[in-house]
């Protein structure tokens, strides 16, 4: 079964689904509702404070209105009644809503409450489909897809497939979860809200257990087969030749790496250090050591931009060492690609830098000794595993700017060693972080325009591409270039642009005359633009503290005094964002995140593995314990191990099979 086989999904809608990562029917089933609405719940409008998120069912009491104000600006207004209160809803630039509103009709909407003396007001509420049953699931969907369509798609898929997970009824009962086939039904067609929430939690635990199994299977072969000779003299010379002194932590990290390489066991080191702590050079030195011993190194970065940046730096580092470096990414052209593949298999290329293109089936190394994975939390376990497995038993160095909380590291990696870079090469961080309420936005833009005039650069980060709630990067870009930042050269960068477009936008910002870059979180990792001294972040509440900390690490790279503005509504500032303003220690932020948001942010799994996609279920220490137990149960059964291992190179999925009825 494919998405195309689902009734009601045309080409356009399928494109939208695919763009947001939903590529097959299973993804539809795994898009758990983010909330539920209980029709029977009575709303006491008078008791609700302004700013509350409300969901309610209402009857339309006046004909809807559609007005076009000027080009590019229109609104639809509807008036409803709910438990005796008049509620006015307004949608901007969403003319299609007009067709869905009928006098006397009933709809379910959700949104943020504004209050006036005589009525309640909600702008841009989300419309939730009319559905049978007392409990209505609410989905978080990309623009242009509606709740009703989603419900029907789920019904179609569920009706035509049967699902099977890895966990037996007995195992599920022992852990206190629902097996995934039942969980999926309950989540989409709930009989009870508490059960539906348990369903989401169960699926999250099962998914996590599956991830833990993958990690454990990955590390089953620990014997060393390579022979690392003593080349510490050459290494010391390379270190002496660097344009800077290594920090003490960098020094001990590289010593630890060499010690591990020369030991009898396969190396697995997690190198953790804040943004700017200088992980890259440690990786290059490790690659150099491997090269001295005759082994190749593959360095994998999560994005094209980052891979290219590493490549440029690697070329510089290896230039006088007679070691050849190549870069392989998804956009490497066919001719270059085949030359690189030849070079890797005959050994004439020693260091390969690239994206997950390095894990491709026809990429063969002559003798891959070391794999380095940068910003590992951005990769799925499978992607990492497929690189590590390529070498049979290569030594592995994994680097992360998001320190992994200790409890989590222990269950994920077992005896993996960690090396921490706690010292920063440049003295103190000069990044000030401040909350900017919406009422001060204009002052902030004035500051950014001033900076542009003195040739300093600014990132404006907007996590969303679409505008389901909150402003999107593209909309903000359009608004600023016409409005507050008119006369300043503004650029746009988001993940849905083609690789070439991204590169052009990034280059114009890094080297050209773009002064302000409006972007999604694609700038998150590793990017190094010296003149960037200001960052404004919208929608910070949907990002983890570690991620925010990484983002602000993009500015003040040369030790300049820099400002990071967190743009917030005019209400109360969340505690965690205040914590971020006062703390510049990535390790402390990671622990705080883990305590408050759960483990979702730290797991390298993509869509279904994150806390957000599991109906806002955050992976807490308790779930981790359950998953830990469950994974041991799973790994105790040889059949299950075989089944999981055979899938480990493919898609990460905790669904064992999905077959057509
Ligand atoms: P990250 O750990 O975030 O990946 P990088 O490896 O990109 O950090 O290093 C950030 C910058 O610091 C780079 O420009 C790098 O050349 C520089 N750097 C690394 N180590 C040192 C050091 N010991 N002294 C001075 N600068 C350093
Ligand atoms: Mg880096």
559 or 469: which leads in pLDDT:
559
Mutate to test the pocket of ligand 1, among 248, 281, 286, 586 (most ligand atoms within 8 A of CB): 281
The DSSP annotation for 57-109 comes to EEEE-S--EEEEEETTEEEEEEEEEETTEEEEEEEES-THHHHH--TT-EEEE
* Number of the ligand 1 atom closest to the C-alpha atom of 279: 2
Angle between helices 545-552 and 575-582 (to 10 degrees): 40
Q: Is the CB of 309 under 6 A from ligand 1?
A: no
Residue of minimum CA distance from atom 26 in ligand 1: 425
* Three-state DSSP state, 553: coil
Q: Is the CB of 248 under 6 A from ligand 1?
A: no
* Three-state DSSP state, 654: coil
pLDDT at 15 over 70: yes
For 472, 489, 532, 533, the CA distances from 505, given in Å and listed in that order, are 17, 12, 15, 18
Q: Is the CB of 544 under 6 A from ligand 1?
A: no
Q: Is the CB of 78 under 6 A from ligand 1?
A: no
Q: Give me the percent of the chain exceeding a pLDDT of 70.
A: 84
How far apart are alpha carbons 56 and 205 in whole angstroms? 31
Count the Cβ atoms, other than its own, within 10 Å of residue 355: 24
446 or 392: which leads in pLDDT:
446
The DSSP bridge partners found for residue 398 are 270, 373
Q: Name all domains of the chain by residue range, CATH numbers in brackets.
A: 3-161 (2.40.50.140), 232-265+278-400 (3.40.50.300), 430-584 (3.40.50.300)
pLDDT band at 161 (very low <50, low <70, confident <90, very high): confident
Mutate to test the pocket of ligand 1, among 277, 425, 554 (most ligand atoms within 8 A of CB): 425
pLDDT band at 380 (very low <50, low <70, confident <90, very high): low
**Distance from Cα 265 to the centre of ligand 2, integer Å:** 27
| Arithmetic mean of pLDDT, 52-57 | 84
Give the tens place of pLDDT for each residue, 291-350: 999 999 999 988 787 888 899 999 999 999 999 999 999 889 999 999 999 999 999 999
Strands 53-60 and 106-115: antiparallel
pLDDT at 607 over 80: no
Which candidate, 605, 522, 604, places its Cα nearest to that of 306? 522
Q: Which residues contact 308 (CB under 8 A, 6 or more apart)?
A: 327, 329, 503
pLDDT at 416 over 70: no
**Of the ligands numbered here, which is closest to the C-alpha atom of 275?**
1
* Number of the ligand 1 atom closest to the C-alpha atom of 282: 6
Does the global pTM surpass 0.85?
no
The DSSP bridge partners found for residue 76 are 66, 91
* Number of the ligand 1 atom closest to the C-alpha atom of 245: 23
Q: Which of 16-20, 233-237, 385-389 has the highest mean pLDDT?
A: 233-237
How far apart are alpha carbons 18 and 537 in whole angstroms? 27
Q: What share of the chain is helix, strand, coil (3-state, %, to 5)?
A: 40, 20, 35
- Mean pLDDT rounded to a whole number for the chain: 83
* Number of the ligand 1 atom closest to the C-alpha atom of 374: 4
**Of the ligands numbered here, which is closest to the C-alpha atom of 586?**
1
The three-state (H, E, C) secondary structure of 412-438, written as one string: HHCCCEEEEECCCCCCCCCEEEEEEEH
Give the tens place of pLDDT for each residue, 93-135: 888 889 888 888 888 888 888 887 788 899 888 887 666 678 8
């Amino acid at each position: 079964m494919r998405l195309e086989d689902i009734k009601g999904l045309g080409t356009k809608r399928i494109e939208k689904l695919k763009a947001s990562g939903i590529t097959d029917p299973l993804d539809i089933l795994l898009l758990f509702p983010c909330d539920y609405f209980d029709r029977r719940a009575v709303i006491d409008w008078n008791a609700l404070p302004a700013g509350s998120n409300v969901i309610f069912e209402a009857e339309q009491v006046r004909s809807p209105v559609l007005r076009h104000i000027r080009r590019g600006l229109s609104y639809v207004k509807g008036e409803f009644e709910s438990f005796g209160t008049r509620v006015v809803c307004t949608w901007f630039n969403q003319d299609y809503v007009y067709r869905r509103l009928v006098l006397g009709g009933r709809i379910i909407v959700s949104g943020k409450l504004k209050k006036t003396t005589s009525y309640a007001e909600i702008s841009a509420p989300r419309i939730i489909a009319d559905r049978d049953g007392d409990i209505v699931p609410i989905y978080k969907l990309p623009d242009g897809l509606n709740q009703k369509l989603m419900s029907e798609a789920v019904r179609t898929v569920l009706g035509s497939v049967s699902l099977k997970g890895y966990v037996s009824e007995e195992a599920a009962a022992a852990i206190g979860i629902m097996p995934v086939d039942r969980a999926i039904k309950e989540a989409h067609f709930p009989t009870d809200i508490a059960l539906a929430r348990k369903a989401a939690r169960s699926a999250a635990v099962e998914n996590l257990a599956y991830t833990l199994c993958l990690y454990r299977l990955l590390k089953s072969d620990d014997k060393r087969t390579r022979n690392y000779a003593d080349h510490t003299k050459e290494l010391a010379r390379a270190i002496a030749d660097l344009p800077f002194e290594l920090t003490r932590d960098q020094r001990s990290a590289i010593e630890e790496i060499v010690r591990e390489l020369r030991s009898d066991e396969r190396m697995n080191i997690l190198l953790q250090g804040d943004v700017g702590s200088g992980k890259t050079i440690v990786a290059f030195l490790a690659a150099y050591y491997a090269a001295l011993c005759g082994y190749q190194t593959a360095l994998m970065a999560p994005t094209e931009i980052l891979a290219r940046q590493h490549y440029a730096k690697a070329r510089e580092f290896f230039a006088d060492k007679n070691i050849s470096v190549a870069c392989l990414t998804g956009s490497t052209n066919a001719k270059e690609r085949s030359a690189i593949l030849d070079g890797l298999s005959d050994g004439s290329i020693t260091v390969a830098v690239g994206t997950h293109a390095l894990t491709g089936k026809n990429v063969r190394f002559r003798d891959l000794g070391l794999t380095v994975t940068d910003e590992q939390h951005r990769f799925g376990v499978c992607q990492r595993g497929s690189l590590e497995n390529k070498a049979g038993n290569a030594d592995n160095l994994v680097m992360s700017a998001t320190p992994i909380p200790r409890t989590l590291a222990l269950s994920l990696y077992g005896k993996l060693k960690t090396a921490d870079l706690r010292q920063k090469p440049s003295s103190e961080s000069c990044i000030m972080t401040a909350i900017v309420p919406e009422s001060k936005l204009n002052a902030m833009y004035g500051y950014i325009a001033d900076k542009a005039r003195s040739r300093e650069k600014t990132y404006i980060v907007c996590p969303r591409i679409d505008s389901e709630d909150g402003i999107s990067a593209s909309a903000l870009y359009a608004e600023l270039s016409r409005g507050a930042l008119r006369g300043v050269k503004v650029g746009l960068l988001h993940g849905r642009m083609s690789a070439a477009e991204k590169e052009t936008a990034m280059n114009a910002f890094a080297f050209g005359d773009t002064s302000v870059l409006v972007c999604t979180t694609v700038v998150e990792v590793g990017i190094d633009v010296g003149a960037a001294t200001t960052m404004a972040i919208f929608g910070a509440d949907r990002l983890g503290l570690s991620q925010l900390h990484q983002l602000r690490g993009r500015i003040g790279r040369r030790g300049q005094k820099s400002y990071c503005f967190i743009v917030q509504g005019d209400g109360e500032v969340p505690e965690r964002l205040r914590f971020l303003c006062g703390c510049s220690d990535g390790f402390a932020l990671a622990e705080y995140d883990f305590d408050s948001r759960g483990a979702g942010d730290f797991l390298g799994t993509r869509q279904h593995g994150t806390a957000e996609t599991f109906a806002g279920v955050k992976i807490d220490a308790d779930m981790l314990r359950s998953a830990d137990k469950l994974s041991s149960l799973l790994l105790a059964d040889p059949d299950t191990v075989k089944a999981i291992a055979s899938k480990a190179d493919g898609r990460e999925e905790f669904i064992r099979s999905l077959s057509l009825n």
